[in-house]
Chain A
């Protein structure tokens, strides 16, 4: 059974602070890992992905994520958050060799950025 766990349901930070959102997964095969952001009332937007190579991947708007095979993790980070980063962040896994490669999502972390 594939699972994606996001341990923090809600994170509150001040503008300019750094933030790390945790994602742990359980899957036996080769996978793609990705992060998506969902602003209120909008669809999901892609932030970044990892499949192989350098375990630190850069995404849009200053986000980066680090893959760790030993920890089965793919944590998302940003060095300095902006108020517009307030949103729900979803970690997702998709099997690399399955025909449709449907995404399996975590339940999200809501980030609230205070001025």
Chain B
């Protein structure tokens, strides 16, 4: 069965510093992986997705993620955090029935 584990429930960084949100996955085959973002009191929006093309995937708002098969990871990064990045971020894997399996989420806190 496929699964994802988000290693941190909360991440706090200072504005202007790099962001790293960690996600490990488990899959018996080459997976499709996604990052979704949920801003406070808003719906969910797709940030980026990996579907077996380039291992470094660029998304919206300056975020990117790197698929590392050897480490079974799909960490989300951004070079410089902005206050508008305050949100909850979800790592998601697509299972063999094409359903999305969601991680528990990581809340990103930005210190001014």
The finding on whether chains A and B are genuine partners in a shared complex, rather than unrelated, reads no
